[in-house]
Structure 1
């Protein structure tokens, strides 16, 4: 396990290699969170509001839809948008502005779970929970603060 990090509250894009962004496909509950190229720098479906909770965890929302999953966390559970806030821990990764987005309170079945890209080879790429590997920079997400 690694230590949690502090990220300032605000609007961010969440990307892989700053080329593909975590994107909310619609504001309907249960909508998949997918990876898409940046459509427009300020596209609302690609901007996420990050808020730190009093417990030191974070909520990640987009148009009142939270980055979440249904039910209990388990490996390969699909990441989707739901209206109820889901809390996440952020672990600082090696690259600047990059973090592992982790299910708090783990480990679960002996492993911590993290927000990751699904191995399914479809377009657009889906996201799901996977075992956390803090040594794997590819599993980290880059948080870019949106300036107004």
Structure 2
């Protein structure tokens, strides 16, 4: 049976979605809907697994928490809001923490906890800048919209 992984959906500016699997660097999927992006990333995970297994490698393991929640103070109201943070392992073995609602904000650290703790202040800075400019900023909504468990298609050769 093919392994299961956590997939993260990132909303694109045009209303479409990108999906990726943090434990499988480079495996992504795009689609006009969440379902289409998830189907594509699931197919691509099966293709990637097929290549890895054909080369005698082992299926990637999700041996760290691929998503976490950070609480960030809302500069408009003063309360705190939860933001889902995706955690990927880089090719160099470091951890990249990226808020799903702000995919252009990220931190990289050799230590997972450092990467997560550093992203909160960067996100607060971004929210403060947007507030000062009078711009609307997203607050995290239902995490079920962005994080889902997927089972890769059975490994296939490309």
Interval of TM-score (by shorter of Structure 1 and Structure 2):
0.3 to 0.5
Q: Greater share of helix residues, 1 or 2?
A: 2
Q: TM-score, normalised by structure 1?
A: 0.33
TM-score, normalised to structure 2's length?
0.32
Query: By percentage of residues, which structure has more strand?
Result: 1
Larger Rg: 2
